[in-house]
Structure 1
Amino acid sequence: MKIAVTTEKDVICGHFGHAKNFTVFTVAGGEIISKYELNPEGNHCSSMPEFIKENDIDVVITAGMGQGAVDSLKEKGIKSFSGAEGNPEEAVQKYIDGRLGDAGANCIGHAFEHENEDGKVCKH
């Protein structure tokens, strides 16, 4: 299984449709076995779900996501979780353990900004 997390400077951040980077974790047998960085290569809101599908990703974890992205990923058989903050590896482990919450479609625009638990400003 592959889990992609929107990341910026090693923390979960951003609006899914405008992600500048994904950290992709490969999970097998309930453990993280590898990770790598994936650049979305100019994809954005409308093309990002197809980009995720083309990269064989099963789950997306992010801070912010709109309803269109939630629906499009679901149509492609990809699970999505929004509202995540902090360490990407910890979020993936929570998903593996069945403890990761989901805020659903928590972005209605692209001007939302907040400070995450690490004190860094996160825009999405």
Structure 2
Amino acid sequence: MKIAIACDGKNVSAHFGHCEGYAVYNATDSVIEYSETLQSPGHEPGRLPVFLAEHGINLIIAGGMGARAVQLFNDNNIEVIIGVSGPVDLAAQDYVAGKLKSTGSICTQHEHDCSGH
């Protein structure tokens, strides 16, 4: 399984679409290894789910994202976990340990500032 974590530096980004890049991990059973960092191609509606699918990503972890983005990821067979914060390495480890669950908190544009995730 390939996991992409939206990141700003070494921390999970508050919003996947505005992150610096994606820390990519390979997970086999309960073993996880850092693979690479993908630079974000920029926020363009509908592009990021396809971009990550083209890189073989099976799961995206982020602080937040909108309902349309969640649907687009699901349409590209990419599972979504949102509501995550803290170091990307810890998020990856928590996921394989079964400790990381999505809060399901969907960003709704113009209703609140997603930077608070």
TM-score normalized with structure 1 length: 0.83
Unpaired runs of at least 5, structure 2: none
Aligned position for 2:69: 69
State the shift of 1:98 in Å: 1.7
Alignment of 1:9-48 (within 5 A): 9-48=9-48
Deviates more, 1:6-15 or 1:101-110: 101-110
State the shift of 1:105 in Å: 4.5
Alpha-carbon distance change, 91 to 104 in structure 1, aligned in 2, over 3 angstroms = same
CA contact (8 A) 1:2 1:26 kept: yes
User: Which amino acid in the other structure matches residue 74 of structure 2?
Assistant: K
Aligned position for 2:114: 112
Deviations 1:8-32 (A, max 9, x none): 1211113122222111111123211
Aligned position for 1:5: 5
Deviations 1:42-63 (A, max 9, x none): 3533211101100100100000
Runs (4 or more) in structure 1 with deviation over 6 Å come to: none
CA contact (8 A) 1:27 1:33 kept: yes
Q: % of aligned pairs identical?
A: 29
Residue 102 of structure 1 aligns to a residue whose secondary structure is: coil
Root-mean-square deviation over aligned CA pairs: 1.7
